[in-house]
């Protein structure tokens, strides 16, 4: 126990006597972790953004004026029976008009032509949500069935497929960049660790010489360097958390709409899952930097 | 692993046909036979480069012999594993010409460092360090830094450090090489005192007066070989 305590004490002394390099090491590790966290957050936000958009996708089926409610109901129950359909809502002509105006509010031509008509041109309307956007073409086609075709005036389908594709594309590029950046940072961090250990060995060559002379075990001589590696990691993780949290709280209100279905929003996700991420990072980075330290000691510490 | 109790053996140090050849082909020590009994005070003399330090280094396993066999306290250390070297070093105190003190530690800390890094309890450190500082007569200067001490005092600190493990053997490689006559005598008195307590002392030296005043066993090396081994010997070259 005393031995462990002393090894920790020596590690802290190493850290302080080599403060400048220690801080550089911690910062490099922190940059690595920050980049990784950015990638993780980007993934999270992108996933939510995509499912947000996907949830918004609906097919509106506008029936002709005067089509009986019975026929509309038949169509609705037919649609509900399809595997691709998640939900069918019935909308009255008045609501349908509102919806249409809302959807095309930026399209003056359409609105103008609507005014020209003068009265509500809509009949009853069905709003269909698909389980998956890829189901839409099938749903649309199925409505071309002669049984319904003549009752239907128009089918209106906001195609977000292109938008989703764009999001996916951008995200995967940014993600690739982020992963590349993390790998580079990690590599640099490990180089810095090796160099810091080398400097530490150099600075402490007298002590190490005396230690060997008076019968310190090589484990005891090595342990402080390994403990130092863990110390760097823990500090880096703590700093990363300290930087990530405010960023998240700034982003949270801006991204609130994407996290509607998640209790606590982005902050909630972080509170629930963040410690796992940080703990995982701490464990893995500790191990990797201890390996780098062991490598440096093999090379530069002759005992 | 054959570590007998150090005080139960006939020979504290036993070298059989020891040779040390440094790469590429420097024969520093050649076919040395040497027996040293517990409690002896042995001086090893000889001209520069005759292998005195190499011989000493093989005793505390800083170097391994190329040929032959070494036993220390009945423990065959010829092929001692690196992981066992610390155990050996806790049984052999070593002192050098250049003291090897840590300048940023006080006298007390320099001495306690040796115990700290070999896992002694704090209780034991508090007990042993004042004792050994008393032996070397530095108990009142424990708070000073090496830079604030004379050469002789610094060497006494390094002797104190060598004593913290209560070693059965003290190896001193030219301990007075950097000291004036007065400080040399002080250190020699100290080594004699330690020897009288029962520690086997192996002294490597160049100093004619020191050896002649000692009137103890003298081993003379020349070109890596023992050319004379005399009880109550004198320095002759
Ligand atoms: N690590 C080494 N590698 C190669 N040769 C060495 C090494 N150490 C010592 N030697 C050589 O071995 C020989 C004996 O050296 P050693 O240091 O034992 O002599 P010494 O008797 O202690 O000399 P001095 O009185 O000057 O200290 C010398 O020729 C030296 O150059
Ligand atoms: Mg020498």
Residue A197 or A156, more confident: A197
Asked if residue A167 and residue A32 are part of one domain, the reply reads yes
Which has the closest alpha carbon to A130: A49, A63, A61? Answer: A61
The count of domains in chain B is: 1
pLDDT tens profile A125-170: 888 887 777 777 788 788 887 777 778 877 777 666 777 788 888 8
Mutate to test the pocket of ligand 1, among B18, B26, B96, B175 (most ligand atoms within 8 A of CB): B26
- Rounded Cα–Cα distance for residues A59 and B128 (Å): 88
| Range from A94-98, A105-109, B209-213, B217-221 that averages highest in pLDDT | B217-221
Selecting from A3, A210, A217 the residue whose C-beta is nearest the C-beta of B100 gives: A210
Quick check: B88 and A215 CB within 8 A? Answer: yes
- Asked whether residue B133 is domain-assigned, the answer is yes
ipTM of this model?
0.87
Asked if residue A15 and residue A75 are part of one domain, the reply reads no
B153: pLDDT confidence band, cut at 50, 70 and 90?
very high
- Asked whether residue B156 is domain-assigned, the answer is yes
CA distances from A54 to A129, A134, A173, A284 (A): 10, 10, 21, 36
Quick check: B114 and A215 CB within 8 A? Answer: yes
Asked if residue A37 and residue A72 are part of one domain, the reply reads no
- Asked whether residue B159 is domain-assigned, the answer is yes
pLDDT of residue A6 exceeding 70, the answer is yes
- Asked whether residue B203 is domain-assigned, the answer is no
Is there a contact between A198 and A296 (Cβ–Cβ < 8 Å)? yes
Tokens 């509900």 found at: A80
A1 touches chain B (CB under 8 A): no
- Rounded Cα–Cα distance for residues B210 and A96 (Å): 115
pLDDT of residue A61 exceeding 90, the answer is no
pLDDT of residue B56 exceeding 90, the answer is yes
A81 touches chain B (CB under 8 A): no
Enumerate residues 108 to 167 of chain B having a beta carbon within 8 A of any beta carbon in chain A: 113-114, 116-119, 121-122, 161-162, 164-165
Quick check: A213 and B100 CB within 8 A? Answer: yes
- Asked whether residue B111 is domain-assigned, the answer is yes
Average confidence (pLDDT) over B152-176: 94
- Asked whether residue B85 is domain-assigned, the answer is no
Quick check: A216 and B118 CB within 8 A? Answer: yes
Asked if residue A200 and residue A154 are part of one domain, the reply reads no
- Asked whether residue B123 is domain-assigned, the answer is yes
> Could you tell me the two tokens for A23?
């801080």
Average the pLDDT over each of A253-262, B1-10, B105-114, B158-167 and give the range with the smallest value: B1-10
What is the least distance, in Å, from the CA of B12 to any CA of chain A? 19
pLDDT of residue B188 exceeding 90, the answer is yes
Question: Who lines ligand 1 at CB under 6 A?
Answer: B 22, 26, 28, 46, 48-54
Asked if residue A170 and residue A34 are part of one domain, the reply reads yes
- In chain B, whose CA is at the least distance from the CA of A215? B86
Average confidence (pLDDT) over B170-185: 92
Asked if residue A72 and residue A35 are part of one domain, the reply reads no
Separation of CA A188 from chain center: 25
Q: Which domain holds residue B136?
A: 101-166
For chain A, the maximum distance between any two Cα atoms, rounded to a whole number of angstroms, is 103
Asked if residue A170 and residue A187 are part of one domain, the reply reads yes
Average the pLDDT over each of A81-90, B111-120, B185-194 and give the range with the smallest value: A81-90
Asked if residue A110 and residue A40 are part of one domain, the reply reads no
Residue A147 or A200, more confident: A200
Asked if residue A101 and residue A14 are part of one domain, the reply reads no
With beta carbons under 8 A apart, name residues in chain A contacting B165.
214-215
> Could you tell me the two tokens for A266?
């982005």
Which has the closest alpha carbon to A29: A252, A236, A246? Answer: A236
- Asked whether residue B180 is domain-assigned, the answer is no
Average confidence (pLDDT) over A175-204: 91
The count of domains in chain A is: 2
Q: Which domain holds residue A30?
A: 2-53+163-300
With beta carbons under 8 A apart, name residues in chain A contacting B117.
6, 211, 214-216, 220-221
Asked if residue A150 and residue A71 are part of one domain, the reply reads yes
Tally A–B CB contacts below 8 A. Answer: 56
Q: Identify the domain boundary among A130, A158, A186.
A: A158
pLDDT tens profile B77-131: 999 998 999 999 999 999 999 999 999 999 999 999 999 998 889 999 999 999 9
- Rounded Cα–Cα distance for residues B15 and B71 (Å): 7
């Amino acid at each position: 126990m005393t031995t462990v305590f002393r090894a920790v004490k020596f590690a802290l002394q190493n850290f302080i006597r080599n403060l400048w390099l220690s801080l550089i090491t911690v910062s490099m590790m922190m940059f690595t972790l920050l980049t990784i966290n950015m990638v993780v957050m980007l993934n999270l936000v992108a996933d939510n953004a995509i499912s947000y958009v996907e949830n918004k996708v609906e097919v509106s089926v506008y029936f002709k004026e005067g089509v009986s409610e019975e026929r509309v109901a038949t169509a609705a129950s037919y649609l509900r029976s399809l595997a691709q359909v998640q939900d069918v809502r019935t909308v009255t002509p008045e609501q349908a008009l509102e919806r249409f105006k809302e959807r095309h509010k930026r399209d003056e031509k359409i609105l103008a032509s609507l005014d020209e008509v003068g009265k509500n041109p809509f009949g009853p309307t069905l709003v269909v949500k698909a389980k998956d956007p890829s189901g839409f073409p099938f749903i649309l086609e199925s409505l071309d069935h002669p049984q319904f075709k003549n009752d239907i005036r128009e089918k209106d389908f906001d195609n977000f497929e292109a938008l989703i594709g764009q999001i996916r594309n951008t995200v995967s590029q940014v993600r690739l960049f982020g992963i590349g950046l993390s790998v580079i940072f990690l590599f640099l961090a490990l180089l810095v660790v090796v160099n810091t250990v080398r400097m530490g060995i150099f600075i402490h060559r007298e002590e190490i010489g005396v230690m060997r002379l008076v019968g310190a075990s090589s484990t005891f001589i090595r342990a402080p360097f390994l403990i130092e590696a863990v110390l760097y990691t823990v500090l880096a993780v703590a700093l990363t958390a300290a930087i990530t949290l405010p960023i998240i709280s700034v982003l949270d209100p801006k991204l609130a709409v994407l996290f509607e279905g998640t209790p606590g929003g982005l902050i909630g996700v972080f509170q629930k899952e963040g410690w796992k991420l940080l703990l995982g990072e701490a464990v893995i980075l500790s191990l990797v930097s201890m390996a780098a330290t062991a490598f440096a000691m093999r090379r530069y510490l002759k005992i | 692993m054959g570590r007998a109790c150090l005080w139960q053996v006939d020979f504290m140090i036993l070298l059989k046909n020891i040779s040390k050849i440094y790469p590429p082909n420097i024969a520093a020590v050649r076919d040395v036979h040497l027996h040293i009994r517990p409690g002896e005070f042995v001086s090893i003399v000889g001209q520069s480069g005759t292998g005195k330090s190499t011989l000493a280094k093989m005793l505390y396993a800083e170097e391994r012999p190329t040929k032959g066999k070494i036993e220390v306290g009945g423990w065959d250390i010829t092929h001692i594993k690196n992981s066992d070297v610390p155990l050996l070093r806790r049984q052999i105190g070593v002192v050098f010409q250049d003291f090897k003190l840590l300048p940023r530690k006080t006298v007390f800390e320099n001495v306690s460092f040796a115990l700290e890094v070999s896992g002694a309890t704090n209780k034991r450190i508090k007990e042993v360090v004042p004792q050994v500082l008393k032996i070397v007569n530095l108990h009142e200067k424990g708070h000073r830094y090496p830079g604030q001490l004379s050469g002789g005092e610094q060497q006494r600190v390094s002797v104190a450090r060598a004593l913290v493990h209560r070693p059965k053997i003290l190896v001193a490689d030219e301990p007075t090489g950097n000291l004036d006559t007065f400080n040399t005598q002080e250190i020699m008195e100290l080594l004699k005192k330690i020897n009288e307590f029962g520690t086997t002392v192996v002294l490597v030296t160049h100093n004619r007066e020191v050896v002649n005043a000692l009137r103890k066993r003298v081993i003379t090396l020349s070109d890596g070989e023992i050319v004379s081994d005399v009880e109550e010997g004198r320095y002759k070259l």
